[in-house]
Amino acid sequence: MGAGRAKDLKGRLLNNADLLINWSRKYSLWPMFFGLSCCFVEEAAAFTSRYDLARFGAEVLRPSPRQADLLIVSGTLFKKIAPVVLRLYEQMAEPKWVMSMGSCSNCGGMYDVYSVVQGVDQILPVDIYIPGCPPRPEALLQGLVMLQEKIGAEKPSRSVLHLKGGTQGSQKPILVDGQTKSRDPRGPGMEGTVIRGTSVVPPEFQDSRADLMWTPPPRQIELIGPDKNLAAVLANRFGETVRISPRVSDMLTIQVAPDRVKDILLFLKSEATPKYKRLDDLTAIDESARRERAAYPDYTLVYQLLSFESGGRLRLKVPLTGRDPVTRSVTDIWPSADWYEREVFDLFGIRFEGHPNLRRILMPHDWEGYPLRKSYPGRATEIPPYTLEEARRQQPLDGGIFVEGSAAEHQLVLNVGPHHVSTHGLMRYIVTLEGEEITSLEMDIGYHHRAAEKIAERQTWHQFIPYTDRVDYLAGAANNLPYVLAVETLAGIQVPERAQVIRVMLSEFFRLSNHLVFFATYAHDVGAMTPNFYTFREREMILDIVELITGGRLHPSWFRLGGVAADLPDGWKEAVDRFVRIFPSRLMEYETLIRKNPIFKARTVGIGRLSLDEAMDWGVTGPNLRACGLPWDLRKKTPYSGYENFDFEIPTAGEGDCYARYLVRVEEMRQSLRIIEQAAANMPAGRYMTEDYRFVIPQRKDMLKDIESLIHHFINVTRGPKIPRGEAYAACEIPRGEQGYYVVSDGLGYSYRTRIRGPGFANIQVMPLMVVGATIADLIAICGSLDYILPDIDR
Amino acid sequence: MQPVAIESVLSPWEPGIFSLTLYAILVLAFVASQLFLASWLGEKKKTREKLRPYECGIIPTGTARLRYPVPFYMVAIFFLLFDVEGAYIFTWAIAWEKLGWSGWLQISFFIVLLLLGLVYIWNKGGLEWGPAAQKI
């Protein structure tokens, strides 16, 4: 009897202790400041004034795992970052909880691709899953409340008091792909149906129904003026080794024999008129799955050059033969070719003789195979599942390996990133420090490689549009534009004027939204917290307008081939007008906080200086180039989507330092607002989708009423429009610089090869020029001022 | 009125050894209990990863016990020098009425000497800070 009562009393005491401990724990969660990709932007929005995470007692985002007890896995879990995530989790304080935020983290989401782990629950125990792509901030709040309920049901006092039993923290077992969780990306129960895309991807797929469809030939342009002259000069000078492509859709294209390519590139860079000073892009195509195999070499190397004098572009195609071909490096002509050649080596296995440092760049150093080869499986579900053991074994390369020679012995080698507040994403800098001074800077990228280019080869032309949104997750719809323009160029699709203006308006809204985030995070980087809470207010206004028009926030996926997804809704004009009225005074207010602030100026003026010559030579684009003094903006230089009809200026600054980059972006916001104002005031009436439904998804009303449109809708939605065989490139001035899409069609419903030229890749490659010789604190100021984003560097 | 004896206004030095001991024991017991509770109640899982230094999620490279560059010591020592000198000046300031003009002269001499020292190290570049590129 006595023993029973004592036991009872003990139980009651423990229960009360549970209540007390749980109450204090659940209202003081400390999430770790760690974002993997897009979802983190919504997580950060939940932290700002409109959603106010502080109401739930979880506003203290800790940059160190030692101080955090809640891991919100927000975004895509890449195989290259998974070991880091696991380590961070294990370094967190006890007890700890895990929330998986967004489809990618839950199950791989739309990224069923070789570089992505199909769910974080394969390496960590997960307490709460938040669905969405990305989930809205409210969904995160909901997830937090659910986690609080889960914590409320725990029995921690027994483990706290070292008694047997009790529960606290995440205790769910990790799942094993294929055993305790379904390997099917569509979820369990779908085993009977073949996964979309697997059966139609070459080389296996033979009898495409697209062959039964007729299409007009691809768009053809006539070479004019300087292009024609240049073609003649090249033919004259290099004779048989160059061949001008007779039919092109976008730019002068020259086939060059591999042994002469360096001479021709050198000629084009230094002697030709006009001079092609920038190596715009360098990539390759694996031709082994072409349907007319005999007409193509094994690989084609594609150099794309740009002339600042004429604004024109030029494409050099170099056929390569053999299974693992070797060609000569052009790093001595363009230093920027360094990373491009490494990328081609990494993804295609083409080697470059004379390259100073030819090793993998995007994939982990111990990766096997070359993912962009046609023989390489695209889907993660086609290759063995990722396991906990792999996450323990496949560690990122040791920092010392990046640093050359004796420097590593008596200087401090420090990893900044991939988990760091100020690297703005999964970027790893390996800095060598002599005191506070940076003596060398190495970069390790690829932690955010989502393999969008590989995915493009299995999704239909329309299905790929949502992936373009996520290439630069702060630029939303502005990302769609270069892709749809490239396909429209190739297929010769005419876009109605109304759709063009809608596209411009949305692109500019996203420029504003991006620059507001830049403003906030940059001020934060150099020590000012306040602007974060202010600028997200206007950013939310913009996202509300975007949501009103498109239904989405970060990733509207709203542009379509031939137009946009739907017409503007009622009430859009009032919302836009209201924003246009309010914004200038708000911007002025924020500017007074920052522009003349002595601390801000001390941190930025004269820091991270980049000369104009260097910027042009390294292919730097966007505000970073304009901050060096060159008024180069594709919206003016090669207007697209009707930008020529708008009245705006290109802001520039001459110094090329961090402060200049800040000034340019702020002024760009004013100019974007002008464009938005004009677009809203002069919105043309008419259709939002082209009239010719051959390649496009018809207007909804027509689809419901008219059998022709219904058939087009059915074909173009299911197996995708057959885009004529050919290739085209289109580039747009997105907020961060020039983003271009190079699409190659083999006459099927999906692209044969899609190449994304992201501005970040080139903008980041010049970092050592700015950083070496500066202090470690300047590194943070410089990173922030470049305003890069990882998915567009690693793609 | 009788003059007040200064001894009776200020309490004399009477070391109450009992209260001091008690106080010390209480303090020690409190601190010890806090340390013990924090260490006993806190959950510890000493895995290999947990004990590893945190460096942005990467396994750290090389040693952290490096030869630090000289400027770090210089600044530290200059700070110490000028800081200790502050102690002299403050004590003089409290007693400046009593010390009179001679005290003023002495401390002025001291301050001037300090200033000369400051000018000297300034000229010598002892206060230079930041990367080499900016020093030139």
Q: Please tell me which of the candidates A87, A410, A435 has its beta carbon nearest to residue B49.
A: A87
Give me the domain span that covers residue A304. Answer: 225-378
The whole-angstrom distance between A415's CA and the closest CA on chain B is 6
- pLDDT of amino acid A171: 79
Distances from the Cα of A523 to the Cα of A486, A583, B56, angstroms: 36, 19, 22
Q: What is the three-state SS of A669-682?
A: HHHHHHHHHHHHHC
Alpha carbon dihedral A187, A191, A192, A197, in 10-degree steps, equals 70
Question: Residue B39 has which token pair?
Answer: 């260490």
Name beta bridge partners: A560: A563
* Domains in chain B: ranges and CATH: 18-135 (1.20.58.1610)
Element (H, E) at A15: helix A2-26
Q: Do B41 and A160 touch (CB under 8 A)?
A: yes
> Which CATH number characterizes residue A107's domain?
3.40.50.12280
Whether A291 is in a domain gets the answer yes
Whether A427 is in a domain gets the answer no
Name beta bridge partners: A734: A737
Residue B71's SS3 state is: helix
Q: Please tell me which of the candidates B44, B58, B131 has its beta carbon nearest to residue A437.
A: B131
The candidate with the shortest Cα–Cα distance to A403, out of A395, A417, A415, is A415
- pLDDT of amino acid A78: 92
For chain A, the residue count is 795
pLDDT band (50, 70, 90) for residue B10: low
Whether A530 is in a domain gets the answer yes
CB atoms inside a 10 Å sphere around CB A179: 9
**Phi, psi (deg, nearest 5) at residue A129:** -105, 130
Residue with token string 């053809």: A220
Domain end residue (candidates: A378, A401, A428):
A378
Do both A495 and A602 map to the same domain?
yes
The whole-angstrom distance between A438's CA and the closest CA on chain B is 8
Q: Which residue of B lies nearest to A399 if distances are taken between CA atoms?
A: B61
- pLDDT of amino acid A5: 85
The candidate with the shortest Cα–Cα distance to A380, out of A389, A388, A371, A393, is A371
C-alpha to C-alpha distance for A513 and A540, rounded to whole angstroms = 9
Residue with token string 């400390």: A30
Do both A615 and A693 map to the same domain?
yes
The whole-angstrom distance between A365's CA and the closest CA on chain B is 15
Where does residue A270 fall: left (phi above 0), alpha (psi -120 to 50 degrees), or beta otherwise? alpha
Do residues A208 and A214 lie in contact, with contact meaning Cβ atoms separated by under 8 Å? no
Domain end residue (candidates: A112, A144, A160):
A160
Show residues of chain B in contact with A438, CB under 8 Å. 131
pLDDT band (50, 70, 90) for residue B136: very low
Domain end residue (candidates: A105, A140, A160):
A160
C-alpha to C-alpha distance for A593 and A578, rounded to whole angstroms = 24
Average pLDDT of chain B to the nearest whole number: 82
Q: Do B60 and A415 touch (CB under 8 A)?
A: yes
Do both A127 and A23 map to the same domain?
yes
State whether residue B53 sits within 8 Å of chain A by CB.
Answer: no
pLDDT digits (tens, 9 = 90+) for A329-350: 999 999 999 999 999 999 999 9
Q: Is the pLDDT of residue B6 over 80?
A: no
Do both A691 and A584 map to the same domain?
yes
The number of distinct structural domains making up chain A is 3
Q: Do B67 and A410 touch (CB under 8 A)?
A: yes
Whether the complex's predicted ipTM is more than 0.85 is answered with no
> Which CATH number characterizes residue A299's domain?
3.30.460.80
C-alpha to C-alpha distance for A462 and A561, rounded to whole angstroms = 7
Q: Do B62 and A400 touch (CB under 8 A)?
A: yes
C-alpha to C-alpha distance for B38 and A522, rounded to whole angstroms = 39
Question: For the stretch A731-747, what's the b/e string if a residue is b when 16 or more beta carbons lie within 10 angstroms of its beta carbon?
Answer: bbbbbbbbbbbbbbbbb
Do both A149 and A295 map to the same domain?
no
Show residues of chain B in contact with A399, CB under 8 Å. 58, 60-62
pLDDT digits (tens, 9 = 90+) for A649-679: 999 988 888 999 999 999 999 999 999 999 9
C-alpha to C-alpha distance for B92 and B80, rounded to whole angstroms = 19
Give DSSP secondary structure letters for A79-119: TTTHHHHHHHHHHSPSS-EEEEESHHHHH-TT--STTB-S-
CB atoms inside a 10 Å sphere around CB A323: 9
Residue type, A454: K
User: Cis peptide before A95, with omega less than 30 degrees from 0?
Assistant: yes
Do both A342 and A489 map to the same domain?
no
Question: Residue A627 has which token pair?
Answer: 């901050």
The candidate with the shortest Cα–Cα distance to A522, out of A621, A660, A670, is A660
User: Cis peptide before A759, with omega less than 30 degrees from 0?
Assistant: no
Residue with token string 């996964």: A195
Do both A531 and A615 map to the same domain?
yes
The whole-angstrom distance between A149's CA and the closest CA on chain B is 22
C-alpha to C-alpha distance for A152 and A25, rounded to whole angstroms = 9
Do residues A129 and A182 lie in contact, with contact meaning Cβ atoms separated by under 8 Å? no
For A630, counting Cβ atoms within 10 Å of its Cβ (0-12 exposed, 13-18 middle, 19+ buried), the class is middle
Q: Is the CA virtual torsion A197, A199, A204, A207 positive or negative?
A: negative
Do both A354 and A499 map to the same domain?
no
For A351, counting Cβ atoms within 10 Å of its Cβ (0-12 exposed, 13-18 middle, 19+ buried), the class is middle
Q: Do B55 and A408 touch (CB under 8 A)?
A: no
pLDDT band (50, 70, 90) for residue B135: very low
pLDDT digits (tens, 9 = 90+) for A52-69: 888 888 888 888 898 999
Whether A781 is in a domain gets the answer no
The whole-angstrom distance between A512's CA and the closest CA on chain B is 31
Q: Please tell me which of the candidates B47, B57, B131 has its beta carbon nearest to residue A775.
A: B131
Give DSSP secondary structure letters for A431-489: EEEETTEEEEEEEE--TT---HHHHTTTSBTTTTHHHHHTTSTTTTHHHHHHHHHHHHH
pLDDT digits (tens, 9 = 90+) for B91-100: 888 888 888 8
Show residues of chain A in contact with B49, CB under 8 Å. 86-87, 90-91
Whether A720 is in a domain gets the answer yes
Alpha carbon dihedral A673, A677, A682, A687, in 10-degree steps, equals 60
For chain B, the residue count is 136
- pLDDT of amino acid B7: 57
Q: Mention every residue, 6+ apart, whose C-beta is less than 8 A from residue A1.
A: none
C-alpha to C-alpha distance for B71 and A435, rounded to whole angstroms = 8
The candidate with the shortest Cα–Cα distance to A58, out of A49, A69, A73, A42, is A69
Give DSSP secondary structure letters for A392-416: HH-PPPPHHHHS-TTHHHHSEEEEE
> Which CATH number characterizes residue A576's domain?
1.10.645.10
State whether residue B87 sits within 8 Å of chain A by CB.
Answer: no
pLDDT band (50, 70, 90) for residue B2: low
- pLDDT of amino acid B15: 66
Whether A687 is in a domain gets the answer yes
Element (H, E) at B27: helix B17-41
C-alpha to C-alpha distance for A166 and A160, rounded to whole angstroms = 9
Do both A155 and A230 map to the same domain?
no
Name beta bridge partners: A97: A70
State whether residue B128 sits within 8 Å of chain A by CB.
Answer: no
The candidate with the shortest Cα–Cα distance to A468, out of A482, A486, A454, is A482
Do both A152 and A239 map to the same domain?
no
- pLDDT of amino acid A191: 73
Do residues A133 and A555 lie in contact, with contact meaning Cβ atoms separated by under 8 Å? yes
CB atoms inside a 10 Å sphere around CB A238: 17
**With a cut of 70, which residues of chain A have pLDDT below it?**
1-2, 195-207, 405-409
Name beta bridge partners: A100: A73, A129
C-alpha to C-alpha distance for A741 and A208, rounded to whole angstroms = 25
C-alpha to C-alpha distance for A192 and A291, rounded to whole angstroms = 29
Name beta bridge partners: A256: A242
Do both A516 and A657 map to the same domain?
yes
C-alpha to C-alpha distance for A664 and A633, rounded to whole angstroms = 12
- pLDDT of amino acid B74: 84
State whether residue B72 sits within 8 Å of chain A by CB.
Answer: yes
Whether A48 is in a domain gets the answer yes
C-alpha to C-alpha distance for A71 and A84, rounded to whole angstroms = 13
Whether A216 is in a domain gets the answer no
Q: Which residue of A lies nearest to B44 if distances are taken between CA atoms?
A: A94
State whether residue B74 sits within 8 Å of chain A by CB.
Answer: no
Do both A473 and A583 map to the same domain?
yes
Do residues A442 and A403 lie in contact, with contact meaning Cβ atoms separated by under 8 Å? yes
C-alpha to C-alpha distance for A665 and A536, rounded to whole angstroms = 16
- Mutation pick from B39, B46, B56, B72 vs chain A, by most beta carbons of A within 10 Å, is B56
Instruction: Give the end-to-end CA distance of chain A in Å, rounded to a whole number.
Output: 70
Give DSSP secondary structure letters for A290-311: -SSGGGS-SEEEEEEEE-TTT-
C-alpha to C-alpha distance for A483 and A560, rounded to whole angstroms = 10
